[in-house]
Amino acid sequence: MGKYIIQRVLQAVPLVFIITLLVFILMKISGDPLGYLAQDPRVTERDRLVLRAKYGLDDPLAMQFVYWVFGDKGLERQVDIEKDGEIDFTVVGERNGIIRGDFGESIRFRKPVTEVIGQFLPNTLLLGTTAFVVTIILSLVIGVFAALRQYTLTDNIITAGTFITYSMPVFLLALILVQIFSIQFRRWGLPSLPVSGMYDPRGDQSVDELVRHMILPVASLALINIAGWSRYIRSTMLEVINSDYIRTARAKGISERRVIFLHALKNASLPLVTLIGLNLPFILSGAVITETIFSWPGMGYMYINALDQFDASLVVAFVLMIAVAVVVFQLLTDVVYAWLDPRIRYD
Amino acid sequence: MKRPGFTLLLVCALMLTLVVGGVSAQEATKTVVTGLHMVGGDIPTIDPHAAETSASIEIINQIFIGLTNQDATTANMEMGIAESMDVSEDGKVFTFKLRQDIPWVRYNPETGAVEQVTDEAGNVRYVNAYDSVYGALRGLAPETASPYSYVPLPYIVGAAEFNSGEGSAEDVMFKALDDYTVQITSPDAASFAASIYGLWVLRAVPQWAIEAGGDSWTEVEYINTFGPYALKEWAHDESITLIKNPFWPGTDAIPQAKIDEVVFRFLDPQQQFAEYLAGTMDAIQVPLEEIERVKADATLSQEYIVGNQPCTYYIGFDNTEAPMDNAHLRLALSYAIDRQSLVDNVTRGGQIPAQWFSRPGLASAPTLETHPDLGVKFNLERAQAELAMALEDLGLASVSELPALSLAYNDSSNHGQIMQAIQQMWTENLGITVTLTAMEPSTYFASISEDAPIIYRAGWCQDYSDANNFLYDVLYSKSSQNDAGWNNADYDALVEQARLESDPEIRRDLYAQAEDILVNQGGGIAPIYWYTINFLVKPNVEYPPSVTGNEAYFEWDITG
């Protein structure tokens, strides 16, 4: 087991390296970060060279990558403006490198990128985790329920319902929910739900308010996932129920409740671990579309705005963070899976 | 064995929703939630010297006041933080006496109240002449690189040299004579210079806060302001909350605020519309596609307001490049656009077909009452006659021999639809086929300034209320904004003369003559429509309609 874990971790290292390299390349091919200064007559050639030296833009590409990852603190770069062999001034590097969490400053927030992420991440985790828990519980309930009543009217209704929500794009579902529960409910004089944000700008920032604001985004996120996941659970559950050992268990006279919940469900939920593990990183990333529609101040919403306004350091940090999270959670999933399922070989 | 039914679970969930949903927040203060002039995402800045977008300027106008101020409902110039203005005989030297009772303030999150700012000795800091001069010089300084510094440059002696890095700050004739007297000298007597001196790019800012906060000085921790409102919270990407400044003395022009808090939400019009219908916003911009629905709705139509916006939508031609250097061809295209049909069928927001460039309502601009027949209107015969002359000039037998023409536009909002309509009118009325080129919105205007496309769309909004801001600042032959390359000696002479003339009626007449040359004889540009704004405002909100495109929230109130 220990050997297996070490092996998987070692496999993940080059993967993270390749991701970092790819992100760096993407950053480089998106253009010269100081290009916009070239047309500004007020920026002198000297200023340009100082900035280029400060960010090491004239270093060899490979070294730029190394400095980006590990930092260039204390590194002295000499600038020769006239190219006459005489050093005009020296610039000292200040970066700590992304490996120490230095992604630079966000141009919009005028704060270090890590601080900005620290501000939005809790909101995303709150929304994402709630939606995730709701999804898991409801898909288990619906999946098992449908499996136990295979081909009955209830099963068919559930099947139809899940197919409808499954095939619906999340933005459409979100807008339909807003139309019904926020706008029409208000029109009909019923208690309505807020359209967007985390709190009512006029009200207090109470937990009540927060819960009210969470209902629609959580519902949009959960409904779509429940549809897919409950189908998945239904089919694995059916497979298990029809297997030999369940028949044996029943034949031994064990109560139906024990058969279903102890024997069948435990085995049927094994594939769920994979599903959960692979989806966990996307709690971090925030649901970009859902957060945007509901103006939920989370990572996804921040990412869209950062893209829109060319906040490159924020975009890079976000992409890298999610990519690494995917690798880490995949690793964890493999490990947990190996631990749960003795049939998986460690070597 | 009994299991709780699935339906029961759903019912429980629904009931929970309703119970929690029934709890609503109590209103303790008068608060208005607005989305006017706001867009989705964040606003770029609230630093008066870095501001460029209408959203930024809107916030700045509530928390920093200029020497002079433009009244939002009349567009007239009035006093801001100055209590009086004295102009010398030759019209070049402006002396402003500042009020002595306007303190710098900040919002204290711990006490939840606005408090006056004190200096090291514990005395209240009042906005004085030195703050004003510091602000003006910061706005003009080359290292600030303010996007609006070009506007006041021609109206302050020494400013252009200082801004280009050649002159020094001492030579800028924007001086403090004593603690509360500011004197500004203009190179020539321009009657509207006083309104330019009130622009955000010259406003007073807190030197001590900027030195303490650096680039973050506009955050709540550092910022000091002095307008009728103070900054309470800036939740980036979400909203800005302004709180009433009880220390604003209340002047004739700018009274104390009546509403305690104004929340500006950064939402796109569609999201604003949903919030408005859900009752969570009080004032919003109506998305274009919802205007028909709003007009037809019994309740919404009562809350619908069409306001003026001092902007002109136009088609620019590259006057320097063949074949658009031919005036007859430009006029043919301009006369072939049915502007009325365009605003009735495409834009449908109550826009006014533009007959000329300087938006009526600006000081000294011609109006439809004074000059009903001025400028250009859809005229098929004239268009075809001009086309025939153009073809003759160019030595072509038919339109099919014209070189391929393309019409460039920034691919946002409804520009695409408008361009398609214009493209179709040119095909149907003249037989000229142009191709449409959609361009990246964020870099569109930069690329037009770099090298204007052969035909392109553009819009211009006032920086200050005067026809000079349109006809001289944009289309004077030597103006840096003259992307079209329009160059006509008679036109230049007229706008130069009007710029220095002091009688408003004579100026209006000079501008009318200049417009006639621009749109009717030379076809330098093709004006399309004059902008309007479509708002929805809740009936309990007392909203003084703005004609300037900026809102004065200190004039708003909530009733009932």
Closest chain A residue to B143 measured between Cα atoms?
A: A42
Q: What is the band of A339 on the pLDDT scale with cuts at 50, 70, 90?
A: confident
Closest chain A residue to B261 measured between Cα atoms?
A: A202
B260/B329 same-domain check: no
Mean pLDDT, residues A224-249: 89
Distance from CA of A213 to the nearest CA of B (A): 9
Percent of chain B residues topping a pLDDT of 70: 95
B119/B187 same-domain check: yes
CB pairs under 8 A between A and B: 108
Distance from CA of A294 to the nearest CA of B (A): 9
Statement: residue B240 has pLDDT above 60 = yes
Distance from CA of A183 to the nearest CA of B (A): 5
Mean pLDDT, residues B255-260: 95
The pLDDT assigned to B28 comes to 60
Statement: residue A215 has pLDDT above 90 = yes
B482/B545 same-domain check: no
B281 domain-assigned:
no
Closest chain A residue to B44 measured between Cα atoms?
A: A108
Q: Please judge whether A191 and B18 are an interchain contact, meaning their C-beta atoms are less than 8 angstroms apart.
A: yes
Considering only CB atoms, which chain A residues are within 8 Å of B215? 110
Distance from CA of B264 to the nearest CA of A (A): 9
Distance from CA of A2 to the nearest CA of B (A): 43
Q: Please judge whether B25 and A257 are an interchain contact, meaning their C-beta atoms are less than 8 angstroms apart.
A: no
Statement: residue B80 has pLDDT above 60 = yes
B527/B551 same-domain check: no
Considering only CB atoms, which chain B residues are within 8 Å of A154? 6
B180/B249 same-domain check: yes
Structural domains of chain B, count: 2
Distance from CA of A23 to the nearest CA of B (A): 24
B286 domain-assigned:
no
Closest chain A residue to B267 measured between Cα atoms?
A: A295
Predicted confidence (pLDDT) per residue in A246-256, tens digit: 888 888 888 88
Asked if residue A339 lies in contact with residue A346, where contact means CB atoms within 8 angstroms, the answer is no
Q: Please judge whether A297 and B237 are an interchain contact, meaning their C-beta atoms are less than 8 angstroms apart.
A: yes
B297 domain-assigned:
no
Q: Please judge whether A200 and B280 are an interchain contact, meaning their C-beta atoms are less than 8 angstroms apart.
A: yes
**What's the first-to-final CA gap in chain B, in angstroms?**
59
B291 domain-assigned:
no
B273 domain-assigned:
no
B518 domain-assigned:
yes
The pLDDT assigned to B22 comes to 40
Predicted confidence (pLDDT) per residue in A162-184, tens digit: 999 889 888 899 999 999 998 89
The pLDDT assigned to B147 comes to 82
Closest chain B residue to A146 measured between Cα atoms?
A: B6
Minimal Cβ distance to A201: which of B41, B239, B450: B239
Minimal Cβ distance to B6: which of A142, A302, A305: A142
Q: How far is CA B355 from CA A69, A144, B5, B372, in A?
A: 59, 71, 70, 9
Task: Identify the CATH number of the domain in which residue B370 sits.
Answer: 3.10.105.10
Mutate to test the interface with B, among A110, A117, A190 (most CBs of B within 10 A): A110
B298 domain-assigned:
no
The pLDDT assigned to B1 comes to 38
The pLDDT assigned to A39 comes to 58
User: How many CB atoms neighbour CB B143 within 10 A?
Assistant: 9
Determine phi and psi for A322, rounding to 5 degrees. -70, -40
Considering only CB atoms, which chain B residues are within 8 Å of A122? none
Q: What is the band of B15 on the pLDDT scale with cuts at 50, 70, 90?
A: very low
Model pTM greater than 0.90? no
For residue B128, what are the domain limits? 5-268+538-558
B240/B320 same-domain check: no
Q: Please judge whether B238 and A203 are an interchain contact, meaning their C-beta atoms are less than 8 angstroms apart.
A: no
Mean pLDDT, residues A251-280: 83
Distance from CA of B106 to the nearest CA of A (A): 20
Statement: residue A277 has pLDDT above 50 = yes
Considering only CB atoms, which chain B residues are within 8 Å of A186? 277-279
Considering only CB atoms, which chain B residues are within 8 Å of A142? 6
Q: CA-CA distance, B369 to A180, in Å (whole number)?
A: 48
Predicted confidence (pLDDT) per residue in B155-214, tens digit: 999 999 999 889 999 999 999 999 999 999 999 888 889 999 999 999 999 999 999 998
Predicted confidence (pLDDT) per residue in A66-106, tens digit: 998 898 888 888 887 777 777 777 888 888 888 888 888 88
The pLDDT assigned to B132 comes to 97
Q: What distance lies between CA B541 and its chain's CA centroid? A: 23
Instruction: Give the residue carrying structure tokens 């070009």.
Output: B150
The pLDDT assigned to B23 comes to 40
Statement: residue A41 has pLDDT above 60 = no
Q: Please judge whether B41 and A309 are an interchain contact, meaning their C-beta atoms are less than 8 angstroms apart.
A: yes
Q: What is the band of B258 on the pLDDT scale with cuts at 50, 70, 90?
A: very high
Is ipTM over 0.85?
no
Q: Structure tokens of B347? A: 């834009």
Mean pLDDT, residues B359-368: 90
Q: Please judge whether B23 and A196 are an interchain contact, meaning their C-beta atoms are less than 8 angstroms apart.
A: no
Instruction: Give the residue carrying structure tokens 């796109």.
Output: B268
Asked if residue A23 lies in contact with residue A323, where contact means CB atoms within 8 angstroms, the answer is yes
Asked if residue B526 lies in contact with residue B314, where contact means CB atoms within 8 angstroms, the answer is yes
B303 domain-assigned:
no
Q: Which stretch of A20-24, A304-308, B300-304 has the lowest confidence by average pLDDT?
A: A304-308
Determine phi and psi for B374, rounding to 5 degrees. -70, 150
Considering only CB atoms, which chain B residues are within 8 Å of A208? 20, 23
Q: CA-CA distance, A323 to A342, in Å (whole number)?
A: 29
B38/B121 same-domain check: yes
Residue A257: which residues within 8 A CB-CB, separation 6 or more?
Answer: B1
Q: Structure tokens of B117? A: 């700012």
Interface of B with A (CB under 8 A): 1, 6, 9, 17-18, 20-27, 31, 33, 40-42, 44, 142-143, 145, 164-165, 215-216, 219, 235-239, 241, 263, 265, 267, 271, 274-275, 277-280, 442, 450
Q: What distance lies between CA B361 and its chain's CA centroid? A: 14
Higher pLDDT, B74 or B24: B74
Considering only CB atoms, which chain B residues are within 8 Å of A176? none
3-state SS, one letter per residue, for B320-363 = CCCCCCCHHHHHHHHHCCCHHHHHHHHHCCCCEECCCCCCECEC
Considering only CB atoms, which chain B residues are within 8 Å of A196? 267, 271, 274-275
Closest chain B residue to A186 measured between Cα atoms?
A: B278
Percent of chain B residues topping a pLDDT of 90: 71
Minimal Cβ distance to B1: which of A178, A215, A257: A257
Closest chain B residue to A308 measured between Cα atoms?
A: B41
Statement: residue B5 has pLDDT above 60 = no
B384/B460 same-domain check: yes
Buried/exposed code over B494-510 (b: 16+ C-beta within 10 A; e: otherwise):
bbeebbebeeeeebbbb
Mutate to test the interface with A, among B277, B299, B440 (most CBs of A within 10 A): B277
Mean pLDDT, residues B229-253: 94
Q: Please judge whether B263 and A202 are an interchain contact, meaning their C-beta atoms are less than 8 angstroms apart.
A: yes
B237/B260 same-domain check: yes
Polymer length of chain A: 347
Q: Please, what sign has the CA dihedral across residues A251, A252, A256, A261?
A: negative
Between the ranges A51-55, B284-288, B433-437, where is the mean pLDDT highest? B433-437
Q: Please judge whether A305 and B24 are an interchain contact, meaning their C-beta atoms are less than 8 angstroms apart.
A: no
B238/B190 same-domain check: yes
Minimal Cβ distance to B6: which of A145, A200, A202: A145
The pLDDT assigned to B141 comes to 93
SS3 B76: coil
User: How many CB atoms neighbour CB A124 within 10 A?
Assistant: 24
Closest chain A residue to B142 measured between Cα atoms?
A: A42
B526/B429 same-domain check: yes
Task: Identify the CATH number of the domain in which residue B170 sits.
Answer: 3.40.190.10
Considering only CB atoms, which chain A residues are within 8 Å of B142? 42
Q: Please judge whether B267 and A309 are an interchain contact, meaning their C-beta atoms are less than 8 angstroms apart.
A: no
Q: Please judge whether B6 and A192 are an interchain contact, meaning their C-beta atoms are less than 8 angstroms apart.
A: no
Mutate to test the interface with A, among B210, B215, B222, B275 (most CBs of A within 10 A): B275
B528/B548 same-domain check: no
The pLDDT assigned to B58 comes to 94
Q: What distance lies between CA B63 and its chain's CA centroid? A: 17
